[in-house]
Amino acid sequence: MTALIYPTIDLFLYDLKYSLGDTSDEIGQNQQSFFQKIPEYIRPFLLENGQELQGEYVHLLKDVYAPTKHDSEQYEGYVYPVLLGDSYGLLLECAFKNKTDAQPAQCFANIKAEIEQTLKGQTSNIGQTWMLSGWLPAEQTQSPEEIAQACYQALMPGLDWEGDLQGQGHFLGADIFELTQNHQHFIVVIYPNENTLNLSGKFYADWMRLFYYRHKIFWAYSQSRILKHSLQTYFSKIQAGSNTVEKARKQGSELKILHTTLIDVQNTLNEYTRELTIIDFQGGTIDINLSNYEKRIGKIKQKSQKLVVNQETEVRFLTEFSKLVKDKYRFQITKDSENLERGLKLLSDTINAVRSRVEVEKAERDRNFQTFVSLLAAGWTFGSFVAALPGLGEDNDNPVRSYLIKSFHLESSTEGVKTIKEVKTVQQLDTKEGKKTQEVKTITEEPNEEPWWLVPATTGIYTLSGFIIAILLLLLWRRLSRRYT
């Protein structure tokens, strides 16, 4: 039977305290989300309640850790919260409270249930690592790997040990195994005896840091993938907007519509630039945490060799993660950043070219409008000048005026315009034959003022004629001047 004495689960959880650009309200929400993972009876003792703590590794409990309460007396454990710069770290430990009798590997499923009850469904947003441990009973006949496999499958039923196993080594003389599944991280440690397990307690702060650096690298890389997808969407949107502006420009759309579309494209381009900066920031986050990860592995090895001189500590498998980060994650972000930078330059050049063409056309339309207004003013001035010339005013010798008067049966004289009227009257005459009626025609001339429209009409005709001539001459002059300049 695969069995261990004092089977224990240490769950390391990591949450973001703040990220670039977070407001004070968002930081407060992140804090409250982290506090929800800690049992309610322990929260009043958190040092960050009502105060702002800063540091790369700060204990958030005055007594460093606090014991947890369990419904069953079979289990015991504690919580260990810390501040890790811009993130929170939390260690939840739960163990089967029996250091004498070996327990079957299946008991890890029950221990996991106890931890999940403490969390009440809360999850971490950066990552988490499950560390399973215990020491071998004296009569154990199965290999450490067989026991580790049974413990893993009890914790995560249905998972593939062979497929998930990333590597194995030795720590303080214990056998240690690392497994991953969909970015979930598992460590199984099979200690040879109780003394070795007790020594491992000196390394919890090191594990807290090491696993944090690992998860922060994964988190930064996953953020870069989200940003890359967003940037690709922005690229397509900017390109489509640029094409729309260019097409509308060629079709002669209103400048107001062109400018509105161009502003939308520019705003999207600004978002593209901002997120491109953030993707570079994520690359820097990976670099810093990878460096810290490699340094922490070195410290763990040195520390363990000092504590146990004759016991082997070989965690080379942990360094394989460093190689993966350099060859895949960091390389991918670097190439993505370079390609997206080229895309930014291409988009900026395109938008600037379109904006320049729109501005040129706007200036040309403004110039044409000003020219049109100038032509109107010049034409009207010239027409008014022509109408005011001698002989073209309101005198009776004006041929156009005379023609209009005759057209409307009016007679011009020096006294002004007269209306000629023919009046028929009937008279009775006494003759030898008797009384007779006779029709008598009389013609009268009555002075009359010119029609209200006549004087303005004649003046307007000269003004309009002069206006048209002036416009034609100015247009001809502009065309000739453009041709020879």
Largest pairwise CA distance in the chain = 178
Confidence of residue 413 (pLDDT cuts 50, 70, 90): very low
Tell whether 345 and 466 lie within a shared domain. Answer: no
Position of tokens 């009973």?
137
Confidence of residue 414 (pLDDT cuts 50, 70, 90): very low
Tell whether 261 and 405 lie within a shared domain. Answer: no
Separation in Å, CA 389 to CA 99, 175, 466: 125, 117, 11
Tell whether 95 and 164 lie within a shared domain. Answer: yes
* pLDDT at 394 > cutoff 60: no
Neighbours of 383 (CB within 10 A): 23
Tell whether 123 and 249 lie within a shared domain. Answer: no
Least confident range from 13-27, 67-81, 410-424: namely 410-424
Mean pLDDT of the chain, nearest integer = 82
Assigned domain for 66 exists: yes
Assigned domain for 262 exists: yes
Phi first, then psi, for residue 456 (nearest 5°) are: -60, -35
Assigned domain for 211 exists: no
Using CB atoms within 10 A of its CB, is residue 131 exposed (0-12), middle (13-18) or buried (19+)? buried
Least confident range from 52-61, 174-183, 433-442: namely 433-442
Token reading at 251: 């079709």
Question: Whole-angstrom Cα distance, residue 208 to residue 215?
Answer: 11
**pLDDT score recorded for residue 254:** 62
Assigned domain for 320 exists: yes
Tell whether 124 and 239 lie within a shared domain. Answer: no
* pLDDT at 479 > cutoff 70: no
**pLDDT score recorded for residue 259:** 73
Assigned domain for 154 exists: yes
Helix (H) or strand (E) holding 386: helix 331-387
Q: Which residues of 261-295 are buried (b: 16+ CB within 10 A; e: fewer)?
A: bbeebeebbeebeebbebbbebbebbbebbebbbe
Tell whether 267 and 345 lie within a shared domain. Answer: yes
Sequence-distant (6+) residues with CB within 8 A of 327 are none
Considering 139, 174, 192, which residue would you say is the last residue of a domain?
192
Neighbours of 439 (CB within 10 A): 8
**% of the chain at pLDDT higher than 90:** 51
Tell whether 144 and 104 lie within a shared domain. Answer: yes
Position of tokens 């922490």?
296
Tell whether 186 and 258 lie within a shared domain. Answer: no
pLDDT digits (tens, 9 = 90+) for 155-186: 999 999 999 999 999 999 899 999 999 889 99
Token reading at 272: 């593209």
The 3-state DSSP class for residue 97 equals: coil
pLDDT digits (tens, 9 = 90+) for 296-352: 999 999 999 888 777 778 888 999 999 999 999 999 999 999 999 888 888 777 777
Using CB atoms within 10 A of its CB, is residue 151 exposed (0-12), middle (13-18) or buried (19+)? buried
Assigned domain for 200 exists: no
Tell whether 351 and 446 lie within a shared domain. Answer: no
* pLDDT at 448 > cutoff 60: no
Termini Cα distance of the chain: 102
Return the higher-pLDDT residue of 407 and 290: 290
pTM of the model: 0.74
Tell whether 267 and 120 lie within a shared domain. Answer: no
Tell whether 356 and 470 lie within a shared domain. Answer: no
Question: Whole-angstrom Cα distance, residue 459 to residue 386?
Answer: 9
Assigned domain for 212 exists: no
Query: Which residue range forms the structural domain that includes residue 419?
Result: 399-427+436-483
Domain count, the chain: 3
Tell whether 305 and 415 lie within a shared domain. Answer: no
Neighbours of 177 (CB within 10 A): 24
* pLDDT at 14 > cutoff 60: yes
Question: Whole-angstrom Cα distance, residue 64 to residue 90?
Answer: 11
Beta strands in 324-402 (DSSP E): none
Q: Residue 290 is which amino acid?
A: L
pLDDT digits (tens, 9 = 90+) for 103-134: 999 999 999 999 999 999 899 999 999 999 99
* pLDDT at 60 > cutoff 80: yes
Beta strands in 123-276 (DSSP E): 127-135, 165-171, 174-181, 184-191
Assigned domain for 291 exists: yes
**pLDDT score recorded for residue 478:** 62
* pLDDT at 84 > cutoff 90: yes
**pLDDT score recorded for residue 1:** 66
Question: Whole-angstrom Cα distance, residue 394 to residue 91?
Answer: 108
* pLDDT at 453 > cutoff 70: no
Rounded average pLDDT over 284-288: 96
> Quick one: CA dihedral 246, 247, 251, 253, positive or negative?
negative
Least confident range from 14-23, 98-107, 125-134, 421-430: namely 421-430
Contact predicate 152/188, CB 8 Å: yes
